[in-house]
Amino acid sequence: MKTILIIGANSAIAKATARLYAQEQCQLYLLGRDTATLAEQKADLEIRGAASVDFAPFDATHFAIHEAVIDQALDILGHIDIVLICHGSLPDQSLCEVDFDAASEAFKVNALSVISLLNILAQKMQQQNNGSIAVVTSVAGDRGRQSNYIYGAAKGMVSLYLQGLRGRLFPFNVNVIDIKPGFVDTPMTSHIKKGALWASPEQVAHCIVKGIDRNKPTVYAPYFWRYIMQIVCSIPESIFKKLKF
């Protein structure tokens, strides 16, 4: 029976992924900001077949509590097979360009809080000498675009960190997986007009579970974003800097 720790469990992608693991009769521990939603998720996941579901309120920007919260999860799970980190926010790019406090908060939520958690989790997973750590980043981190380079820079920071962490934990049988979704139809993107390239949280969740099972170092979700980003990253800077997308 797999034991799964999901951080940022209130997110649409996390909810969809938890449902898949519930169908596998896994033991789940959920961390998220909205306790009422976590309680609803617990009831839903138990109906779907989860072996057990526990949860605790958690604000990822409160760095001082990170280790205690993870220790509590370990006390209940006993052993962590998979950690999935899903929390994040989509900042207002225009505001961040003129307000450093807003930019700093965006980096705190999307990068620094994740790195704080990973520092602690890496130690725990190294000690148990196995397991998988999966982090939801974004294709936005592959190249800085005019329209969202604050968000992209934060996600790119995490992706680069994961590359180094993957090598560090390899001798200890700990897999590190970078999950890079493209456009996903979630409450966070409800204000954005949708198009053909948009995926559902359920589609991304299937990519996550499959990628972790196969120990893929990087998972583009859906898969075609790998090829889209190869094209985007190949555009010469002399042309790219003029593009408004």
Q: What is the DSSP string of 159-204?
A: HHHHHHHHHHHGGGTEEEEEEEE-SB-SGGGTTSPP-TT-B-HHHH
Q: How many helices (H) and strands (E) does the chain have?
A: 10, 7
Whole-number pLDDT of residue 192: 74
Token pair, residue 209, equals 């579970």
Rounded Cα distance between 70 and 124, Å, is 9
Rounded Cα distance between 194 and 228, Å, is 17
The residues spanned by each domain of the chain are 3-240
Whole-number pLDDT of residue 55: 97
CATH class of 3-240: alpha beta
Predicted TM-score (pTM) of the model is 0.95
Digitized pLDDT (tens) for each residue of the chain, 245 residues in all: 999 999 999 999 999 999 999 999 999 999 999 999 999 999 999 999 999 999 999 999 999 999 999 999 999 999 999 999 999 999 999 999 999 999 999 999 999 999 999 999 999 999 999 999 999 999 999 999 999 999 999 999 999 999 999 999 999 999 999 999 998 987 777 777 777 789 999 999 999 999 999 999 999 999 999 999 999 999 999 999 988 88
Whole-number pLDDT of residue 186: 79
